[in-house]
Amino acid sequence: MVERRAVANSAEAGTVLYTEAGASWWPVLWGPGFAGLGVTVEGLTRTRGPVHGSQWLLLAGAFAVLAAVWVYGRRRWYSVRLTSASLVVGRAVVPVSRIAAVPGVGTPRGAKVLGGDWTVPRGTREVPLRLYGDSSCGASPHGERSCNEGGEDEAGENGRVVLAWARHPEALTQALRSLVDREIPA
């Protein structure tokens, strides 16, 4: 099965170094499980009249569809994937070449959370990333670095800090550190 995202083509390139699915598919079985339990209890406790098997089957299907929609949304909006080319955090895609530093980056107040939420999702912890300077900074064709008026430079000395997130931030940090260290020109 191929994941389809508007920006996934550039994000899928490269070797997968770290991945977290937003949710597993097992909650889809809750609806049929509860319906099976319900039909069993109804069959054991009824004194007369039919067991409502078709209604329980419809209820199981409805619960399974609702759970599938929930799981699909969680997998789409709360997944983390790091390849050798990019970091995908929820809806946000950050090219690895834009990441200046991973370890030792403090978390300033008001740092942007990747993925589109105001805070990191529940059950995850933040991974601060320092990005190379913003779009008003850039390197010249000759490799010289230029700065914007605020002093942010491409070397990331004053680059913007954003918050990635993961359930296992140590593993993501280690994978990012290996990529960022490899990207630094000698």
Tens-digit pLDDT profile for residues 62-104:
999 999 999 999 888 889 999 988 999 988 899 988 888 886 7
103: CB partners within 8 A, 6+ apart? 173, 177
Nearest Cα residue to 180 out of 130, 134, 110, 141: 130
| pLDDT value at 138 more than 70 | no
Name the residue ranges covered by the structural domains of the chain: 8-19+80-183, 23-76
The encoded tokens of residue 122 equal 């529940």
Interval 145-167: pLDDT, tens: 444 344 444 333 457 889 999 99
pLDDT grade for 8, boundaries at 50, 70 and 90: very low
**pLDDT at residue 106 in the model:** 74
Cα(153)–Cα(151) distance, integer angstroms: 6
Interval 13-52: pLDDT, tens: 678 889 998 888 999 999 899 999 999 998 888 878 788 8
**pLDDT at residue 101 in the model:** 83
Nearest Cα residue to 172 out of 3, 20, 47, 13: 20
CB-based burial label for 118 (10 Å; 0-12, 13-18, 19+): exposed
Whether the CB-CB separation of 90 and 20 falls below 8 Å is answered with no
| pLDDT value at 136 more than 50 | no
The DSSP call for residue 110 is T
| pLDDT value at 139 more than 50 | no
Average pLDDT, integer, range 117-137? 78
pTM of the predicted model as reported, rounded to 2 decimal places: 0.66
How far lies 104's CA from each of 111, 126, 152, in Å? Answer: 15, 13, 18
**pLDDT at residue 13 in the model:** 63
pLDDT grade for 134, boundaries at 50, 70 and 90: low
**pLDDT at residue 70 in the model:** 93
| pLDDT value at 114 more than 50 | yes
Cα(135)–Cα(115) distance, integer angstroms: 19
CB-based burial label for 41 (10 Å; 0-12, 13-18, 19+): exposed
